[in-house]
Structure 1
């Protein structure tokens, strides 16, 4: 059983959903993002999503785009993202780690070699935002061969006829994009989520995570109870970016502010109404 499946099984036995915080690798530098990664499990992260910086992140809103630009300016490469996970695994063998990013860097790296190296580094799953189902064979054989979950995105505009096609070959969990548009710009209502998630339940037994627009502890708690997990990204990056100095370096205490925010989100996810 994969780490992702084992974690969701454990949380189901506990009767609660998961918190999945996001960080952009090397934002604003390697040391700061590594400190965040190492601190997130203790702060309440059930799974962790790491962004792979890319020059043309078409689904990212301005907050995540800025984080990617800072990381690229710091010199991050795809191999450095894998090295982060490898270093993280020296002290944490249990917390599932999912990489989220775009296809072009993986094609440049070589899909087969990337999946081999990602698995060897301790990565558990991949979310490739711009990989359409029709082109999944670029990656799926290699992810399957190396025990990596390929996590698919489902949008509000994905109709019932296309859902089975989109979900074919999916594993780990389903990432429900709660809004149409880019990340961090607005939020879905509880009423929308309560209508959307049962539609997905009818066609998959995989856990469902809600992302894009989940910002506050209240929203995270609601999302994790309607579905199986809440993904929080832009709100955490916004906290970090607000605590950078004029040269773009993290001020003392910046990491702890983000981790305190993760703690508040985790408390809301764990709260039993």
Structure 2
């Protein structure tokens, strides 16, 4: 059983949702990330989403964009992210780590080495899941196979605008959990429509049988309230960004 499966099973047994904070690798300081990850766990994080810095994000608001630009200026790429995860794993073998980012750094990593290098190296340092914002199900089969070979879950996004067909596609292929975007927009928005969130979750849960998380716009205790993500207990997630 994977670390993600073990974590969600434990949370279900306690009737709890999961807290999955996001942090950009290499921000605010190059060497602070492993220590920051440990602090997040001590503060109650159940899973950590570690953002891979990228110069041209399509889903991130100004705060995460600025953090990524800062990290990139200081030389943080996938090799450095892998090293940060490796250091974190030296004293934490239980907390799941999910890399969240974009296709370009992954494809370049493999291009400079060999096909499948990203998946193999991610597994070697203890990565549990990968969420690639611009890899929809239609183009993800190659990466999905590589990650599956190494026991890593490929996590997909769903949004309020997702069609029933797209929800079915994700339900068939996703692993770990499904990331349910709470707004039609980028990260950091204050325009959270709770009725829309509940409607989206209801549609997603009709077809998705693995945990469902809610992200984008989940910024404080009120927006992370269990009332927002209420439903069957195997959907335990809220995210602070």
The secondary structure found in structure 2 opposite 1:126 is strand
Check conservation: 2:213, 2:238, Cα contact below 8 A: yes
Residue equivalent to 1:144: 148
Task: Measure how far apart 1:224 and its partner are.
Answer: 4.7
Residue equivalent to 2:46: 46
Question: How is 1:1-273 mapped onto 2 (pairs within 5 angstroms)?
Answer: 1-110=1-110, 112-222=116-226, 223-225=228-230, 227-233=235-241
Residue equivalent to 1:255: none
Q: TM-score, normalised by structure 2?
A: 0.93
Task: Measure how far apart 1:160 and its partner are.
Answer: 1.1
Q: In structure 1, what is the Cα distance between the partners aligned to 2:79 and 2:168? A: 34
Q: In structure 2, what is the Cα distance between the partners aligned to 1:57 and 1:194? A: 27
Structure 2: runs of 5 or more not aligned: none
Q: In structure 2, what is the Cα distance between the partners aligned to 1:8 and 1:224? A: 15
Task: Measure how far apart 1:23 and its partner are.
Answer: 0.5
Q: Decide which moves more: 46-55 or 136-145.
A: 136-145
Check conservation: 2:180, 2:214, Cα contact below 8 A: yes
Q: In structure 2, what is the Cα distance between the partners aligned to 1:34 and 1:93? A: 13
Task: Measure how far apart 1:161 and its partner are.
Answer: 2.3
Q: In structure 1, what is the Cα distance between the partners aligned to 2:224 and 2:191? A: 11
Q: Decide which moves more: 196-205 or 124-133.
A: 196-205
Q: In structure 2, what is the Cα distance between the partners aligned to 1:221 and 1:26? A: 30
Deviation sequence 1:54-94 (CA, Å, 0-9, x none): 11111110010000001011111211101111110110011
Q: In structure 2, what is the Cα distance between the partners aligned to 1:175 and 1:26? A: 23
The secondary structure found in structure 2 opposite 1:56 is coil
Runs of 4+, deviation exceeding 6 Å: none
* Structure with greater helix share of residues: 1
Q: In structure 1, what is the Cα distance between the partners aligned to 2:171 and 2:119? A: 20
Check conservation: 1:187, 1:214, Cα contact below 8 A: no
Task: Measure how far apart 1:194 and its partner are.
Answer: 2.0
Q: TM-score, normalised by structure 1?
A: 0.82
The secondary structure found in structure 2 opposite 1:38 is helix
Check conservation: 1:16, 1:224, Cα contact below 8 A: no
* RMSD, aligned α-carbons: 1.3
Check conservation: 2:35, 2:88, Cα contact below 8 A: no
Residues matched between the structures, number: 233
Q: In structure 2, what is the Cα distance between the partners aligned to 1:217 and 1:185? A: 15
Residue 133 to residue 106, structure 1, CA distance change in 2 (3 Å): same
Q: In structure 1, what is the Cα distance between the partners aligned to 2:147 and 2:12? A: 26
Check conservation: 2:160, 2:197, Cα contact below 8 A: no
